[in-house]
């Protein structure tokens, strides 16, 4: 037996390291699923189909329900719709009347146009409770953007300058869907222009807002508004109410009366923005009855304070002021702030005449234009010319 070490040729072969052969597959009844992109596409298609179906259903539901109030109030919503219709039809509006409901009722556009020597067209965009902090942005951001009028006639009363009145109205304006500020609000409105689900989600998530009590309330509010709104936006609610309850409401609004700097600042800011856009503004102190002045803590003294403040605003902002706080008697009002129908026609006619006669007044001067009422008596009116 050889004891020689093995040569290279006789060296042992290396051990094989191949993986073991896998066992034959066992049929356990399950199907093998191969990874592909088709299931993901299927899920996307299903989601899109559901969203499209929801959009269709949302549009059907909204079409059957009273419209959501997306603006300051139903009156503002109706006014925007009227302005948009005029804009779509290419109808020019030369003169815009603005202010609270007192202005909405006092200015009748058709009566103004009939009495205006130039026959200018007009629209009333006054809103309930729209104190200057509300009327200012309403005019600049919404009305003038849509109508581009030549002239804004802004009616004012002591209520417009009262510090105890207007906080709730300003909050309502700033929180309304269409006038809320911020990028999220802007995005919401932009998406809502194409998606009914997004636009109307506030009422869609509450069935009562579509077919229940909330929907009925909106319908009733809109119907009442339609019944008390004239063809050119003027208010035509001549319900008489001089009750003690109504007096108490006005007294609370005028409590601790003083000239509110926030209101005066809002008026000046709106005038400056209007002038920058080429729109003229005239301030009008509207007629008010003795029963309203009696609710002021200081009575006639506070009323005179309001008159002086409006006059000073005209000088400060370089706009003309028409002052007629005592141009009408108590019987010309249906309550504490709103004139009756004949008085509204007279005020509108007087405004047309007074605007036309402003050129007769020297700049920096005030004058009595010597208007007469229907019985031939002089009307207490003053015109101050502050515009160049």
- Residue recorded with tokens 């399950």: 30
> HEC profile for 195-229?
CHHHHCHHHHCCHHHHHCHHHHHHHHHHHHHHHCE
Domain hosting residue 82, numbered range? 73-179+233-384
- Edge-first strand listing for the sheet containing 280-285: 122-124, 95-98, 151-156, 280-285, 320-323, 382-384, 366-367
Q: What is the CATH number of the domain that holds 295?
A: 3.40.50.1110
Is 16 a domain residue?
A: no
The candidate with the shortest Cα–Cα distance to 350, out of 295, 292, 286, is 286
Is 297 a domain residue?
A: yes
- The DSSP secondary-structure symbol of 9 reads G
Domain count, the chain: 1
Is 135 a domain residue?
A: yes
Q: In terms of C-beta density within 10 A (0-12 exposed, 13-18 middle, 19 or more buried), how is residue 338 classed?
A: buried
Is 53 a domain residue?
A: no
Q: What is the DSSP secondary-structure string of 134-168? A: HHHHIIIIIIHHHH--SEEEEEE-GGGG-TTSSHH
Asked whether the beta carbons of 373 and 379 are under 8 A apart, the reply is yes
Alpha-carbon 72 to chain mean position: 5
Q: Output the pLDDT for position 1.
A: 46
pTM score > 0.75 for this model?
A: yes
Is 210 a domain residue?
A: no
Is 134 a domain residue?
A: yes
Is 46 a domain residue?
A: no
Q: Output the pLDDT for position 48.
A: 72
- Residue recorded with tokens 């919503």: 77
Is 186 a domain residue?
A: no
- List the chain pLDDT tens, one digit each, 388 residues: 445 554 544 444 555 556 566 666 555 555 555 555 577 777 877 777 776 766 666 566 666 677 888 999 999 999 999 999 998 888 889 999 999 999 999 999 999 999 999 999 999 999 999 999 999 999 999 999 999 999 999 999 999 999 999 999 999 999 999 999 999 888 878 877 777 766 777 776 776 767 677 888 888 889 999 999 999 999 999 999 999 999 999 999 999 999 999 999 999 999 999 999 999 999 999 999 999 999 999 999 999 999 999 999 999 999 999 999 999 999 999 999 999 999 999 999 999 999 999 989 999 999 988 776 666 677 789 999 999 8
- The DSSP secondary-structure symbol of 374 reads T
Q: Output the pLDDT for position 330.
A: 95
- The DSSP secondary-structure symbol of 284 reads E
Asked whether the beta carbons of 283 and 319 are under 8 A apart, the reply is yes
Q: Output the pLDDT for position 375.
A: 67
Q: Output the pLDDT for position 11.
A: 45
């Amino acid at each position: 037996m050889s004891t020689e070490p093995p040569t290279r040729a006789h060296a042992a072969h290396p051990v094989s390291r191949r993986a073991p052969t896998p066992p034959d597959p066992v049929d356990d009844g399950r199907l093998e699923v191969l990874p592909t992109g088709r299931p993901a596409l299927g899920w996307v298609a299903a989601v899109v189909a559901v969203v499209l179906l929801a959009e269709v259903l949302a549009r059907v539901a909204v079409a059957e329900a009273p419209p959501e109030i997306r603006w300051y109030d139903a009156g503002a919503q109706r006014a925007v719709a009227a302005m948009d219709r005029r804009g779509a039809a290419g109808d020019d509006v030369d003169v815009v009347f603005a202010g609270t409901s007192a202005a909405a009722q006092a200015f009748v556009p058709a009566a103004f146009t009939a009495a205006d020597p130039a026959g200018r067209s007009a629209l009333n965009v006054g809103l309930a409770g729209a104190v200057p902090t509300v009327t200012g942005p309403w005019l600049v951001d919404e009305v003038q953007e849509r109508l581009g009028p030549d002239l804004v006639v802004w009616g004012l009363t002591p209520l417009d300058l009262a510090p105890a009145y207007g906080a709730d109205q300003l909050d309502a304006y700033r929180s309304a869907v269409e006038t809320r500020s911020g990028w999220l609000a802007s995005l919401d409105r932009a998406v809502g222009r194409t998606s009914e689900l997004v636009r109307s989600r506030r009422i869609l998530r509450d069935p009562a807002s579509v077919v229940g009590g909330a929907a009925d309330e909106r319908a009733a509010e809109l119907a009442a508004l339609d019944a008390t709104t004239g063809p050119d936006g003027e208010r035509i609610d001549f319900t008489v109410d001089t009750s003690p309850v109504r007096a108490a409401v006005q007294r609370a609004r005028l409590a601790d009366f003083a000239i509110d700097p926030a209101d005066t600042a809002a008026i000046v800011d709106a005038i400056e923005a209007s002038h920058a856009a080429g729109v003229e503004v005239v301030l009008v102190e509207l007629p008010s009855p003795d029963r309203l002045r009696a609710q002021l803590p200081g009575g006639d003294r506070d009323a005179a304070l309001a008159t002086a403040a409006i006059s000073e605003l005209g000088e400060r902002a370089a706009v003309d002021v028409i002052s007629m706080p005592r141009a009408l008697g108590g019987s010309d009002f249906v309550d504490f702030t709103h004139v009756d129908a004949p008085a509204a026609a007279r005020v509108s006619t007087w405004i047309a005449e007074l605007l036309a006669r402003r050129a007769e007044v020297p700049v920096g001067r005030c004058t009595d234009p010597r208007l007469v009422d229907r019985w031939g008596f002089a009307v207490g009116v003053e015109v101050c010319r502050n515009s160049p």
